Structure 1
Amino acid sequence: MNGWEIATLALMVGGVAPALVLVARGGPVDRLIGLELGASVTTLTLLVAIQGDGQSSYLIVPLVLVLLSFAGTLVYTRLLGPKP
């Protein structure tokens, strides 16, 4: 195991696990925070894994994830808002 794999594992355990707990067990606002935390940590995890792998052509995946997570947050926030 090299340093990049250890950093990827640390991000997954230290960041994705708490985000999943927030999404699964929290209230609506906590779930939104868990969604944002999960998207951020997953993006960072992918970036670290790509850096360790040395394949810069895979960088499109985290970039698309950032855009999709932003759109998902907007939709989730819209659903949390007051009903007309």
Structure 2
Amino acid sequence: MTVWLIAAGALLLGGLLPAMVVSYRDTAERRVVGLGLVSVTATLMMLVVCQAFGQSSYLIVPLTLALLSFVGTLVFTRLLGASDE
């Protein structure tokens, strides 16, 4: 269990925090990339935590996040494209 929690912490510090900085500070195009990276990293981190606790019922949340974050990125890109016209 400890190895999985260390992996989740590494994903949090090494992946999620830099992606959040990119999605907050750069241009609009880079913010879209940062948003996608945040959602992928958060999904992976939740999957690792599910593995650490050994609860397969917790898998519903990261799988739902994966689907909704893809749709959210598409909506954000559509709104970004509408502002350029």
State the TM bucket, normalised to the shorter chain. over 0.9
Distance in 1 between residues matched to 2:30 and 2:18, nearest whole Å:
11
Q: Number of residue pairs matched?
A: 84
Quote the residue 2:20 is aligned against. 20
| Structure 1 vs Structure 2 CA RMSD | 1.3
For residue 53 of structure 1, report the CA deviation from its aligned partner. 0.3
TM-score, normalising length from structure 1? 0.94
Identity %: 54
For residue 82 of structure 1, report the CA deviation from its aligned partner. 4.2
Quote the residue 1:37 is aligned against. 37
Q: Which runs of 4+ in 1 moved over 6 A?
A: none
1:64-83 equivalences under 5 Å are 64-82=64-82
> In the alignment, residue 78 of structure 2 is paired with which amino acid?
R
- Long gaps (5+) in structure 1: none
For residue 49 of structure 1, report the CA deviation from its aligned partner. 0.4
Quote the residue 1:6 is aligned against. 6
TM-score, normalising length from structure 2? 0.93
The alignment partner of 2:52 has SS state of helix
For residue 76 of structure 1, report the CA deviation from its aligned partner. 0.6
Establish whether residue 53 from structure 1 lines up as the match of residue 53 from structure 2.
yes
- Long gaps (5+) in structure 2: none
> In the alignment, residue 57 of structure 1 is paired with which amino acid?
S
For residue 3 of structure 1, report the CA deviation from its aligned partner. 0.4
For residue 80 of structure 1, report the CA deviation from its aligned partner. 1.4
For residue 6 of structure 1, report the CA deviation from its aligned partner. 0.4
